[in-house]
Amino acid sequence: MANKVTHPILFQGNLKKQGPYFEGWYFKSVSADEKTVLSLIPGISLTAEDPHCFVQYSYVHSGEAADKELRTGYIRYPLSAFQCNRSPFVLKVGNSIFSETLVSVHLEEEDFRIEGILKLGPFQAIQRTALSPSIMGFFAYIPKMECYHGVISMDHAIDGTVAVGTRTRDFTGGKGYLEKDWGTSFPEEYVWIQCNHFRDERTSLFFSVAKIPFQGSAFEGFICSFMLDGEEYRFATYNRSKFTLGLLTDDRIEIEVSHASASLTICAEVLHGGALLAPTELGMNRIVKEGLSGIVTVDFTDKKTGKSYHDVGNVAGIEVVR
């Protein structure tokens, strides 16, 4: 049976245990023309006062002026509406189904619906070793961390259509991304950047820095995965990489990460932000702003070969919480 530490897509929690506890999967889908972004977040929130499961969505369409749309929502269900199978992984929340090969979404609010099926192509996985079983490195083995993170697919193909409101959006030939979080609460302060829509379609980026409580104190921890020409470059606190913050505002971030072999500069600009609910120990009650279609510029240098690389990415996911 698959190990939960090395397979973060699996359900990490226990519905029988009392919280506080949350777990959420982040399925991001972008149309081939990059005009439509749909993020679906199925998950659970376990607190004494309000245990429930949910599907949260954020949606942006940046077409002609009359066709522009931006909407976020949070659909609640009783815990009994949450079902998760380990092998193969299949998650069911309400009438929506999420797996490694397919998303079948059926969400309804009073005046709005999201309904359709998306087929997911092979996942682009990150490197894993016994000492570094996930994007968290050896921290994945440490119990009682405030928040655990898993990067499941840096990039994959998407096919299918989804009815959003009164319109049908075609995702055929599009691209997706999949990650997840679980624990007791999101960090008090963090920056998160994700992009797999660079001019070189093989390039993808994940970056996160956060204030992390640990053994009675706190430290600033960061993780970054940069995929270039089929190779992953990992920058992280746990592999002695360095992190430099150049600029941080609510809508612009400039950072540099480096280690002995390579360096990467990231400049991110937030566009089309929508409000999402994030977990605290009291439940899903913290409002955060997620940029759904930001712009990311990367400058990479391989110190061993002297090779340099510059690219610009669109429809980036960006969150700045401080």
Domain span at residue 274 reads 21-321
Tens digits of residue pLDDT in 276-314: 999 999 999 999 999 888 999 999 999 999 999 999 999
Tens digits of residue pLDDT in 143-195: 999 999 999 999 999 999 999 999 999 999 999 999 999 999 999 999 999 99
Statement: residue 1 has pLDDT above 70: no
Residue 1 lies in a domain: no
Q: What percent of the chain has pLDDT over 90?
A: 89
Q: What is the mean pLDDT of residues 221-240?
A: 97
Model pLDDT, residue 10: 97
Residue among 19, 18, 17, 37 at smallest CA distance from 28: 37
Statement: residue 18 has pLDDT above 90: no
Statement: residue 142 has pLDDT above 60: yes
Residue 11 lies in a domain: no
Model pLDDT, residue 66: 67
The secondary structure element, H or E, covering residue 206 is strand 204-214
Residue with tokens 């006062």: 49
Residue 117 lies in a domain: yes
Residue 58 lies in a domain: yes
Give rounded-to-5 percent helix, strand, coil for the chain.
Answer: 5, 60, 35
Residue 120 lies in a domain: yes
Residue 219 lies in a domain: yes
* pLDDT tier for residue 271 given thresholds of 50, 70 and 90: confident
Residue with tokens 């605290």: 280
Number of independent structural domains in the chain: 1
3-state secondary structure of 37: strand
Contact 266, 258 (CB under 8 A): no
Q: What is the mean pLDDT of residues 91-120?
A: 97
Tens digits of residue pLDDT in 47-62: 999 999 999 999 999 8
Q: What percent of the chain has pLDDT over 70?
A: 99
* pLDDT tier for residue 2 given thresholds of 50, 70 and 90: low
* pLDDT tier for residue 133 given thresholds of 50, 70 and 90: very high
- Tokens matching residue 30: 């972008």
Q: What is the largest CA-CA distance in the chain?
A: 58
Statement: residue 118 has pLDDT above 60: yes
Residue 309 lies in a domain: yes
Model pLDDT, residue 29: 98
Average pLDDT over all residues of the chain: 95
pTM (predicted TM-score): 0.97
Q: Which is more confident, 18 or 10?
A: 10
* pLDDT tier for residue 214 given thresholds of 50, 70 and 90: confident
* pLDDT tier for residue 269 given thresholds of 50, 70 and 90: very high
Residue 8 lies in a domain: no
Model pLDDT, residue 65: 67
